[in-house]
Chain A
C-alpha cells in the first residue's frame, strides 16, 4: 500500500466520509409531506439490498462458525462425534493446551504459526508486487498485450490441484525439472537439493503459491487500472507530469480502494491456505512448511480431536480479526486524511 499526500484527483467521494449519503435530489421544506414514503423506502433500501447476502452468510458461515466456537469448549472426540450434545464440557482445557507453548502441542502450534506469518508476509508481498508491476506496465497499449494477459491468467484457470501437482512433479529430487536446471544444466549446484522435504520446502511452497495466486492480484489490479479515467492522465500530461509522477499521483492513489481490499483478501487467503501444502506435500507437510490450516487439520481432523482443533481455530480467528481491524483502521484513516 503506497501512501500519498497528493490531493485525490477527480470527483470521487471517499467511502465512509460523513457527507456521502444516498444521492439525494432535492428535498426542500415545502415538499416534506410528499417525501416521507420515499424517504422511508430509501431508508429501507440499503437493508433490502444486503439482505440476501446476510441470509446466506448467516446460514453457511456464521452459524457453522458459532457451532465451531461451541465445539472449542467441548471434549469432542470420536466417542461423541455422533451425538455432540453428549460431549462433556472441556471448559478452557482446549485453549490451555494450545497456548501452553512449552508443551508439545502448543510448541508445534507456535512454530506452525511463525512459519505461517513468515509465509504470508512474503507471499502477499510478492503477489501484490508482481500483480501491480504487471498491471501498471501493461497499462499502455502495445502489441501482444492480449496474449500476455491471457497467459498470465492461465495459472488461475487451472484447477488448483493440477497446478500444484505439476509443481510437485517439477520439484522432485531425481527427476524434477528444477534440479535438472540447477544441477545438470547450469551447474549452479553440485549436489541435488531436496525441495519437498526439509528446509527448502518453504521456498517450494512459496514459489508454488505465488505462481498460483499472483494472477488474481494482477486480474483485480488490472481491472482497477482500467477503471481510472483517461481524462486524469490527459489533464496531468498537460500539466507536464511525467510517467513516474503520474504513477505516483494518479495510478497508485486511484488504486487505493482496490489495493486495500486486494491486500486484505490475499492476507486472509494466504493465512488460511490449505490446498497448496496439502497437494504439494501430501498428508503431512514438513515442519518448515507446516501452514497453520494444515497443522490444525493434522492435529484435529485426522486425529479425531475436534474440540482442540476448534480451539486453535478460534485463536486463529481472534488473531486475524485483530490484524484486520488494525489494518482497516490504519488504511481507512489514511484514506480519509488524504
Chain B
C-alpha cells in the first residue's frame, strides 16, 4: 500500500495524543499506589515525594481482595465463554439463514438493552428467588445466578456484532466446505469460526469485560462469599477514609492478569482472513 507522505506524521500525532490520554490516569494510579495516604490527600505532585510499598501489602488486609478476584475471574470467564458460544450459534443462524421471525428475534434481543438495568433489578431478583426455590438451586447470592445474568447482558450485542463479522465472510467459503461434505454446522466450525476469529476474540473480550465491570447487579445479587471485584473494590472507600493509595494499588494488581490475557489474545486479533482461510 502506498502511503501518502503525511500519513506517518498524522499517525504519530493521533496515536501520540491517544497514548497520552490513556496514560494520564494510569500514571496517576501508579504513582498514587506508592504514596503514603497523607501525601495522597495533599496537593498533587507528579513525582511522589515519599515512596512506600506499604499499600501493596495492606490491600489484602483491608478487603479480602484475593477472594473477590477469584470470584470475578470465575464469573467473568464462564459468562464470557458461555455467552460467546450461544451467540455464535445464533449469529450464524441470522447471518446465513432467512427464516420467519429472524428480524423479530434480532430486534427483540436488541430491545432488551434499552430498558434501564435499575428497573429490572427487582423483578429479576424475584424470579431468581422463586426459580431457586422451585428447582432447588440457589441462584440468589450464588455465582451461577450472576453468571446467567451476565451472560444474557452481553448476549444481544455479541450476537449483533458476530452477525456483522460473519456477514463480511464470503458465503463462497461455506459453500466450498459444504461441497467438501460438511453439514452447515461443520461449515460453521471449520470455516466460519476460524475466519471470524478476530471478531470472536473481540466479542469474547467484550463479554468478559461486561461481567468483569458490572457493579449494580453484583452489589445486590452477591453476598460476602461471592462478591466480585467491581463491588469489592468499593471496600477501600469506607465510612472513615478513602484509601486512595490502596484502591489504586488493588486496581493495578487485579488488572495485570487481565491485561496479560489481552496480550495473549492479541495474536488472534490480527489473524483474519489474511492468515489463510482462503485456500
Residues of A within 8 A of B (CB): 10-16, 18, 20-23, 25, 42-43, 45-47, 49-50, 52-54, 56-57, 59-65, 67-68, 71, 130, 133-134, 137-138, 140, 142, 146, 148-163, 165-167, 169-170, 174-177, 180, 211, 215-216, 219-220, 222-224, 226-231, 233, 237, 242-244, 246, 254, 257-258, 260-262, 264-265, 268-269, 271-272, 274-275, 278-279, 292-293, 296-297, 300-301, 306, 309-310, 313, 316-317, 320-321, 324-325, 328
In the complex, per-residue mask of B3-20: 1 if CB is within 8 Å of any chain A CB, else 0: 110010011001100110
* Residues B22 and A324 in contact, CB atoms below 8 Å apart: no
B71 in contact (CB, < 8 A): no
For window 172-202 of B, CB contacts with A under 8 Å fall at 172, 174-175, 178-179, 184, 187, 195-196, 198-199, 201-202
In the complex, per-residue mask of B127-167: 1 if CB is within 8 Å of any chain A CB, else 0: 10000000000000000000011011001110111011101
A219 and chain B: residue at smallest CB distance: B202
Number of interface residues of B (CB under 8 A): 122
* Residues A148 and B202 in contact, CB atoms below 8 Å apart: no
Q: How far is the CB of B171 from chain A (nearest CB, A)?
A: 5
Q: How far is the CB of A221 from chain B (nearest CB, A)?
A: 9
Q: Which A residues are in CB contact (< 8 Å) with B28? A: 166, 169-170, 177
How many Å lie between the Cα of A237 and that of B262 in the bound state?
Answer: 33
A295 and chain B: residue at smallest CB distance: B116
In the complex, per-residue mask of B49-88: 1 if CB is within 8 Å of any chain A CB, else 0: 0000000000000000000000010000000000000110
How many Å lie between the Cα of A159 and that of B233 in the bound state?
Answer: 9
Q: Which of A43, A47, A260 contacts B164 (CB 8 A)?
A: A260
* Residues B105 and A246 in contact, CB atoms below 8 Å apart: no
Q: Which of A21, A268, A328 contacts B113 (CB 8 A)?
A: A268
B43 in contact (CB, < 8 A): yes
A interface secondary structure, majority: helix
For window 86-143 of B, CB contacts with A under 8 Å fall at 86-87, 89-90, 92-99, 101-102, 105, 107-120, 122-124, 126-127
How many Å lie between the Cα of A229 and that of B169 in the bound state?
Answer: 9
B interface secondary structure, majority: helix
* Residues A154 and B96 in contact, CB atoms below 8 Å apart: no
- Asked whether A23 and B96 contact (CB < 8 A) given A264-B160, A275-B215, the answer is yes
How many Å lie between the Cα of A93 and that of B26 in the bound state?
Answer: 48
Q: How far is the CB of B206 from chain A (nearest CB, A)?
A: 7
Q: How far is the CB of B3 from chain A (nearest CB, A)?
A: 5
Q: How far is the CB of A42 from chain B (nearest CB, A)?
A: 7
* Residues B123 and A67 in contact, CB atoms below 8 Å apart: yes
* Residues A293 and B266 in contact, CB atoms below 8 Å apart: no
* Residues B234 and A161 in contact, CB atoms below 8 Å apart: yes
How many Å lie between the Cα of A293 and that of B171 in the bound state?
Answer: 41
- Asked whether A23 and B3 contact (CB < 8 A) given A61-B152, A154-B259, A166-B25, the answer is no
* Residues A152 and B22 in contact, CB atoms below 8 Å apart: yes
Q: Which A residues are in CB contact (< 8 Å) with B15? A: 134, 137-138, 148
B248 in contact (CB, < 8 A): yes
B47 in contact (CB, < 8 A): no
- Asked whether A130 and B157 contact (CB < 8 A) given A21-B97, A162-B251, the answer is no
Q: Which A residues are in CB contact (< 8 Å) with B37? A: none
A15 and chain B: residue at smallest CB distance: B167
B34 in contact (CB, < 8 A): no
- Asked whether A170 and B25 contact (CB < 8 A) given A53-B155, A309-B119, the answer is yes
- Known A64-B127, A159-B233; further 19 A-B contacts with Cβ < 8 A: A11-B171, A15-B95, A22-B96, A49-B93, A50-B105, A59-B152, A67-B123, A150-B266, A170-B24, A176-B44, A211-B22, A211-B25, A229-B272, A231-B278, A237-B1, A274-B117, A275-B215, A317-B114, A320-B111
- Asked whether A12 and B97 contact (CB < 8 A) given A223-B198, A243-B4, the answer is no
* Residues A68 and B209 in contact, CB atoms below 8 Å apart: no
